Structure 1
Amino acid sequence: MCKYLSQFGSYWPTRVTPPARYNTAHDPALSVEFAQDGKSLCAILQKENTVALFQVAKQESGYELKHISNAVDFLPGAALKKAKISVQFQSGVQSGAFLYHEYSNHTVVLSDLRGNHELNRFSAAAGTSGKTLLSPCSKFILGFGDSAEIRGWAVIFKSGSYASTKKLHSLCGHKSHVSQAAFFPDSSKLISLSDASGFKIHDFNSADWQRDDTPREVECFPNQWGLVDSIQISPDSLVLTLVQHSSIKFISLRTKVLLLEIKDIFNAAIKSAEFSPDSELVAVAGDRCVRIFKNLAGLVAKAHESKANLMSPNCNETYKNRLLEELKSDQKKINELQKLLSA
């Protein structure tokens, strides 16, 4: 598998734009996160235990990274684990924004975008197994891992200004500790996993959680693939990935079948796995290395989706022709990739 992927040199640009740089004065930057519009980013500085905020400015010669400010260390007694520039939208218009801080003791701090003024803080989870999750739409924060329930909070803005953080009714239904959870890319659904109950999917479109109407469970299926370290959903919502130590399994969200497994990617455990925004690539980090794989499973899942849509009674002639063209194109890519795999 790795041999086949190493042949995809054509995916890399032949001319690289000079990189934008910023010297953090020997303070290790633990992670970086872009804002949704790509015009700014934040980085966690280990020694200062804070967030450095940058503006990404495009110049004729490339890009410039302008340092805006460093946020306050809101919790000196705990290590900062995650930070994100979070933006909410309503009907395509920005309705609110805040800086999200997540600490090692599962305390969540919300601040203004410059990180100077604290808006709210709360403990989202507990214990060594506790985990915290921010929805892609930046409206919901979840805490789980220490019990069979998934706790939720809504970050509420009114007229563009922060109003409150509301504790929501918990999502229940699992019979043992919830070990994993992930939002669908559009925040419309949540998939969660526990040892006793397997996978459950809650539909956020079916209810107004913020107004005490709890999202309902719409699907449940067993975990037949073993212990899972983390889960991710592709941006096109077709594929569920299961990270298992140094391997990744790709599951079709429609058919719940194993599409592909990449074994022994590293000698040690995988630290992180992320899809590219177009779902075509998967980046995997671990063992002091980053590897990028072509998402063959996504092509197969997309082909399955097209075939299912072709069978729909609502498929008119125009849509049918478009699906057939897409299916033909996807099948050609699959055949080419499989040929490389067997080479």
Structure 2
Amino acid sequence: MEVTELLVVLLVFALFALLVVALAAKGQKRWNKKSNQRDDGKTNGVFFHKCQVHKKQKQRHQKEKPHQHIFVHALLASTLKSHSGNITSMDFSNNGKYLATCADDRTIHIWSTKDFLQREHRSLRVNVKLDHATLVRFSPDCRALITWLANGDTIRVFKMKKKEDGNSTFQPMAEDFPKKHKAPVINIGIAETGKFIMSVSSDTTIIIWTLKGEVLSIINTNQMNNTYAVISHCSRFVGSCGFTPDAKVWEVCFSKNGQFREVTRAFELKGHTAGIHFLAFSNDSCRMATVSKDGTWKFWAIDVEYKQQQDPYLLLTGTYQEAASMPCILALSPDAQVLALASSNNIRLFNTKRGEEEENFTKIHGGQVAEMAFDTTGQFLASCGDRMVRIFHNTTGQRAIVEEIRGLLKRAPTETTRQRLNQQLIQAQATLKRLGAVKV
């Protein structure tokens, strides 16, 4: 009996042991299955959830980080980077020392031109509170900035002030200009004499203002719609273009004691067969350039006696390859020997004596070129279009200088003059050689 009882106890113990082993094996299998499911990303476990949150944050950060457009060219002198938004406008100061840029990041930056060829580019930041500027222009004395506000639809003037530490800053005037335009404003300008400010909208309106925001005159261009208008460097004229194939030029008249009198029609530039995209005056106000939807650009002589019914005359017609429907902008070098033409994100440089294309920069910005301008020396061409400003060496201008000096050498009256011209020729040729430019 004792043996039988012992066998029963052993059997029960063996069955219990087998049950424990089976349960343990089943638990391990279930644990392994859960672990595999977490590793495969098929459950909503804590570890997976944390990874997903981190991944989403990383993706969001990558989306918010702006794509940096890469552009490389042998004639690229420098790239200015400080804005966090798209740059919409820029302007060189009359003294040639500064470049102002504005962007939709609610800031204006003022750059030192002497840093263009340096590794670091310093800038003074000006904040535009509760708005952003779409256009910016220096005053003639460089002590104020004239801007157009995107949301305010008006002109705001920032004046330079000295801070307690001796540094300068720009502060907005107490009041903005009154709202007068009924359509989007496409350009503003200030006369170099400091006598008036001009604003032009995309309907048919140009307004001439005092520096304090009083309206002197409202011009109806009768061009269906305006595409651009600008003040001449001599401050006498305002030129406009639009839907019609003729560019119109007005004279802003003041009396000898500086009192505003009137705005009168001066002359027209006739020759294009379609609407005009853009126009520009030379620094001496003796030349103008226009670019049209007809696929041509024209270079004009305007130093005529228009009051004696003498019409401006055409000096040169050039062509460009971009689609006629694409808007084009242009810029003239200070000596009017180089014409820069921009369409989309490409820029072409032409010699205005022969109309030949000498440089072609493609895909300069991530977006369309917003504005272009030559510096006061004609050494550089600046363009903006995304978050950056590109500064180019103006080799086309250097070649024009070489050609002009060679012509002057043939007519030099004295040995002293020839020596001086030869020295200038050597310097210009050395500059071209240093930049690796051809056609020396």
> TM-score, normalising length from structure 2?
0.66
Q: Tell me the distance in 2 between the aligned counterparts of 1:243 and 1:16.
A: 25
- How far 1:128 moved relative to its partner? 5.1
- How far 1:287 moved relative to its partner? 3.1
User: Which one has a larger percent strand, Structure 1 or Structure 2?
Assistant: 1
Change (3 A) 1:12 1:44: same
The one of 189, 192, 204 aligned to 1:84: 189
Give yes or no for contact 1:18–1:61 (8 Å, CA) kept in 2.
Answer: no
In angstroms, what is the RMSD of aligned CA positions? 3.0
Change (3 A) 1:37 1:166: same
Alignment match, 1:170: 268
Q: Tell me the distance in 1 between the aligned counterparts of 2:340 and 2:146.
A: 27
Gap runs ≥5 in structure 2: 1-70, 80-114
Q: Tell me the distance in 2 between the aligned counterparts of 1:141 and 1:27.
A: 29
Q: Tell me the distance in 2 between the aligned counterparts of 1:224 and 1:84.
A: 28
- How far 1:3 moved relative to its partner? 4.9
| 1:249-301 CA-partner distances (Å, limit 9, x unpaired) | 11112232222211221343222221111111111111333211222222222
Matched, 1:205 2:287: no
Give yes or no for contact 1:106–1:131 (8 Å, CA) kept in 2.
Answer: no
Residue 213 of structure 1 aligns to which amino acid in structure 2?
Q
User: Which one has a larger percent helix, Structure 1 or Structure 2?
Assistant: 2
The one of 134, 159, 172 aligned to 1:67: 172
SS of the residue 1:192 aligns to: strand
The one of 236, 261, 268 aligned to 2:360: 261
Residue 148 of structure 1 aligns to which amino acid in structure 2?
P
Q: How does 1:85-164 map to 2 (within 5 A)?
A: 85-88=190-193, 97-115=195-213, 117-127=214-224, 130-158=227-255, 159-164=257-262
Alignment match, 1:91: none
Residue 31 of structure 1 aligns to which amino acid in structure 2?
L
Q: Tell me the distance in 2 between the aligned counterparts of 1:148 and 1:191.
A: 14
Alignment match, 1:300: 399
Change (3 A) 1:125 1:308: farther
Change (3 A) 1:155 1:8: closer
Q: Tell me the distance in 2 between the aligned counterparts of 1:49 and 1:109.
A: 14
Q: How does 1:154-303 map to 2 (within 5 A)?
A: 154-158=251-255, 159-194=257-292, 198-207=296-305, 209=306, 211=307, 213-223=309-319, 225-227=321-323, 229-303=328-402
- How far 1:164 moved relative to its partner? 0.6
The one of 133, 147, 162 aligned to 1:43: 147
Give yes or no for contact 2:301–2:314 (8 Å, CA) kept in 1.
Answer: yes
Change (3 A) 1:254 1:72: same
Tell me how many residue pairs correspond in the alignment.
Answer: 328
Give yes or no for contact 1:108–1:122 (8 Å, CA) kept in 2.
Answer: yes
Q: Tell me the distance in 1 between the aligned counterparts of 2:269 and 2:74.
A: 43
Q: Tell me the distance in 2 between the aligned counterparts of 1:58 and 1:294.
A: 34
> TM-score, normalising length from structure 1?
0.83
